[in-house]
Structure 1
Amino acid sequence: MSVDKIALDDSRISHCEAVLNGQRYHYILGIPEHQAFSATIFLIHGWPDLSYGWRYQIPFLIQQNMRVVVPDMMGYGRTVSGPQDAPQSPPADLHLYSIKRAADDIAELAKQLGAPEIILGGHDWGGAVVYRTAQWYPKLVTHLFSICTPYTAPSRQFISLKQMVDGPLPQFGYQIQLSEPGLENDLKAYDQIRRFLQAVYGGRSERGRSCFRPDIGLDFEAMKTIGTAPSLSGQELNHYTSEYMRHGLHGPLNWYRTRLINFEDDLKLGTKMVKQPVLFITGKLDEVLKPAMSTGMENFIPQLRKEEVETGHWALTEAPAEVNKCIGSWLKEIVCKSSVKL
């Protein structure tokens, strides 16, 4: 079934900029044609995505009478306009890439847009961001949904990435490769960035070998003969590659270098609960954020609805009709009943 999606030059959206807590952000803005809207919804992407990763959800949510706000997150796409502005760390503070900083920037953008309350949606890292934003700003966030990313409650004990990989989550081994400094230096040229994106978005070698394995990360040997990425069309791959060529991989990879910072921020949070209504949509075939990881979420989220779609990690683009159906039902049955007026 064909699903409507925004084009790169779509007249239904605007490309906007805002300075949020000292950093310049780019965001997509979509407003119903009649200019009136019943709610404001922010969509937060993950790694290695862009605001355009929500291309199938933006027109759907506009049709639901929503004002849709979709930022390129810190270090991605057009959020910084040139190499001289990119927050390189060091010397820039790595806190710029923390979840708490993302929450603060979302709150500031909502303020600038005159939205005292918002709905939040996230995917991948964006899912982690929306949970914590709801906890840091409970009066701002009225409802939230997460695609693929289960809720992880704040812990009083720090667990390193290596401990996690050696223990319960061996499929997070790729994060060790991503957090190391060498990768961003090895992937700088256009063709290198293009192959990297093809690998992460499901491209295989000519012998059918996966070019990105959750347990180890990028397989550079397999990438030499990589084929098409099933989650990105040719035009979309060109767009993603061009956007990543603006600043390289330094900013996006910094999100994997903030584990201790995020832990220290969690210690200040003071709650493990998410009190807002939450929709969690899991990808049944997700090899990284496996459905079993969501076990026990209901202990921390009293108003939790769980749904699942028959797809892998890139559910937003691989199964857009199913994802939109889940979101639409939740909006109608849960969100609209609460009479959100923004």
Structure 2
Amino acid sequence: MATNKLRPDDKRFSHEYAQLNGHKYHYLLAKPESGHFKGTIFLIHGWPDCSFAWRYQVPMLLEQGLRVVCMDMMGYGHTDVPKVPPESIHLYGYKRASDDIAALAKELGAPRIILGGHDWGGMVVYRAAQWYPDLITHVFSVCTPFFQTSTTYLSTQDLVAGYLPQFGYQLQLAGPDVEAAVQSKEDVTNFLKGMYGGRDKNGKVMFQPETGVDVNVMKGGMGMTPLLDEKELEYYVQAYTKSGIHGACKPCPSLGYDLRGATMADDRTVNWYRTREANFKDELKITKTTVDVPVLFIIATKDNVLKPEMARGMGKHIPKLTRREVPASHWALWQTPDKVNEAIKEWLQGVVFGAKSVL
């Protein structure tokens, strides 16, 4: 297990904020100790996660001479959480995420960036490379395969009834049940423990891909996740209750802040599961269905949602594709961080920093 990871109070990164296309974003910013960097990499997290997802990867990337930007995406952590309705669901779509990444790159004075993603973030980085081919030089994705755009709309119900039954949880998350069930700090804590592999006192898991979150199991109390330590868990709980150490946050007694009134429902992260039609409509304007920049795809061989077989045929749409595998579940970033980092480092040194690379 890698030991050189960021801690919640680590001095190697700072909490920063930016107004991007009308909404406030929070992001973690880390630079090499020398202050000099040879390129900028943006890291995009998934669900249920936040910018701190990349704590094991940031130190390695700093060692490679990169400036690292880890964004809290729309609805997460300390980034704005627009309510839908009355706001448009497109705010949680891939196009809007791509636009906001481009806006932050411009604000940071980065005319060219590398882009890495996991889970939903993996889908964002592919689409961002299609929307902004002049900005993004290289892409890597952990767990998430590439799905080409289509002129035929398929709903999530269509996918679940067809070849992706393990996406059944998305139907549940798109509805109101989980959002309504996770309200208190205790709820948030149990929810996150369960999503990250914790079990209840009888050894039951809380989440199954085909059916989603078992609220009754969650409410009975979940054991500690093996993937986070106590301080990391508290960081996540703070992020998911809209409190924490910076920004427009409600105070929590343990850290000088108060959690009263903060709820999971305030977070709106499940809106990412309500964007399928919005994304489809946006993507009708994408003229090129391939991703032409060099791409590293890291397969998690034990992922029971984004299964390895879903990546078959990716090479047809990504001419410069590198594949690597790690023996991990969906939480590969934390479960096998050394192997993930080794794959990224090898790709950076062999592909990104090659003689013909332009950063």
User: Aligning the two structures, in what range does the TM-score lie when normalised by the shorter sequence?
Assistant: over 0.9
Residue 239 (str. 1) matches residue 235 (str. 2): yes
Q: Which one of the candidate residues 267, 272, 277 is aligned to 1:260?
A: 277
Secondary structure, aligned partner of 2:291: coil
Q: Provide the rounded CA distance (Å) in 2 between the counterparts of 1:341 and 1:266.
A: 27
In structure 2, the residue matched to 1:77 is 77
**1:152 is matched by which residue type in structure 2?**
F
Secondary structure, aligned partner of 2:19: strand
Q: Provide the rounded CA distance (Å) in 1 between the counterparts of 2:234 and 2:285.
A: 42
TM-score under structure 2 length normalisation: 0.92
Q: Provide the rounded CA distance (Å) in 2 between the counterparts of 1:173 and 1:105.
A: 29
Secondary structure, aligned partner of 1:128: helix
In structure 2, the residue matched to 1:172 is 167
- The answer (yes or no) to whether the contact 1:275–1:303 under 8 Å persists in 2 is yes
Q: Provide the rounded CA distance (Å) in 2 between the counterparts of 1:139 and 1:225.
A: 49
Q: Provide the rounded CA distance (Å) in 2 between the counterparts of 1:2 and 1:183.
A: 33
- The answer (yes or no) to whether the contact 2:89–2:271 under 8 Å persists in 1 is yes
Residue 182 (str. 1) matches residue 199 (str. 2): no
**1:329 is matched by which residue type in structure 2?**
E
Q: Provide the rounded CA distance (Å) in 2 between the counterparts of 1:184 and 1:266.
A: 28
- The answer (yes or no) to whether the contact 1:3–1:321 under 8 Å persists in 2 is no
Q: How many residues align?
A: 337
Q: Which digits, 9 at most, give the CA deviation of each residue in 1:154-179, with x for residues without a partner? A: 01111111111111011110111100
Residue 111 (str. 1) matches residue 127 (str. 2): no
Q: Provide the rounded CA distance (Å) in 1 between the counterparts of 2:34 and 2:6.
A: 18
Q: Which one of the candidate residues 144, 148, 152 is aligned to 2:147?
A: 152
Q: Provide the rounded CA distance (Å) in 1 between the counterparts of 2:208 and 2:351.
A: 37
Once the two structures are TM-superposed, the CA of residue 261 in structure 1 deviates from its matched residue by: 0.3
Identify the range of structure 1 (229-238 vs 59-68) with the bigger mean alpha-carbon deviation.
229-238
Residue 309 (str. 1) matches residue 326 (str. 2): yes
Over the matched positions of the two proteins, sequence identity in percent amounts to 50
Structure 1 runs of 4+ aligned residues shifted over 6 Å read: none
TM-score under structure 1 length normalisation: 0.96
Secondary structure, aligned partner of 2:268: helix
Q: Provide the rounded CA distance (Å) in 2 between the counterparts of 1:15 and 1:237.
A: 18
Q: Which one of the candidate residues 85, 88, 93 is aligned to 2:88?
A: 93
Q: Provide the rounded CA distance (Å) in 2 between the counterparts of 1:264 and 1:338.
A: 39
Seen in structure 2, the aligned counterparts of structure 1 residues 183 and 87 have a Cα distance that, compared at 3 Å, is same
Secondary structure, aligned partner of 1:173: helix
- The answer (yes or no) to whether the contact 2:150–2:284 under 8 Å persists in 1 is yes
Q: Which digits, 9 at most, give the CA deviation of each residue in 1:233-253, with x for residues without a partner? A: 222111111111116244210
Q: Provide the rounded CA distance (Å) in 2 between the counterparts of 1:227 and 1:334.
A: 42
Once the two structures are TM-superposed, the CA of residue 49 in structure 1 deviates from its matched residue by: 0.3
In structure 2, the residue matched to 1:46 is 46
Residue 226 (str. 1) matches residue 244 (str. 2): no
- The answer (yes or no) to whether the contact 2:299–2:324 under 8 Å persists in 1 is yes
Once the two structures are TM-superposed, the CA of residue 95 in structure 1 deviates from its matched residue by: 1.0
Map 1:260-339 → 2, pairs under 5 A: 260-339=277-356
Q: Which digits, 9 at most, give the CA deviation of each residue in 1:271-304, with x for residues without a partner? A: 1100000000010000000000000000000000
In structure 1, the residue matched to 2:13 is 13
Identify the range of structure 1 (8-17 vs 326-335) with the bigger mean alpha-carbon deviation.
8-17
Seen in structure 2, the aligned counterparts of structure 1 residues 57 and 119 have a Cα distance that, compared at 3 Å, is same
- The answer (yes or no) to whether the contact 1:143–1:335 under 8 Å persists in 2 is yes
Q: Which digits, 9 at most, give the CA deviation of each residue in 1:295-319, with x for residues without a partner? A: 0000000000010000000000011
Map 1:135-150 → 2, pairs under 5 A: 135-150=130-145
Seen in structure 2, the aligned counterparts of structure 1 residues 103 and 205 have a Cα distance that, compared at 3 Å, is same
Secondary structure, aligned partner of 1:78: coil
Q: Which runs of 5+ in 2 are unaligned?
A: 243-262
Q: Provide the rounded CA distance (Å) in 2 between the counterparts of 1:304 and 1:2.
A: 27
CA RMSD of superposed structures (Å)? 1.1
- The answer (yes or no) to whether the contact 2:142–2:298 under 8 Å persists in 1 is yes
Residue 124 (str. 1) matches residue 145 (str. 2): no
**1:119 is matched by which residue type in structure 2?**
I
Q: Provide the rounded CA distance (Å) in 1 between the counterparts of 2:287 and 2:43.
A: 25
Q: Provide the rounded CA distance (Å) in 2 between the counterparts of 1:51 and 1:23.
A: 17
- The answer (yes or no) to whether the contact 2:2–2:337 under 8 Å persists in 1 is no
In structure 2, the residue matched to 1:248 is 264
Q: Provide the rounded CA distance (Å) in 2 between the counterparts of 1:127 and 1:2.
A: 23
Secondary structure, aligned partner of 2:354: helix
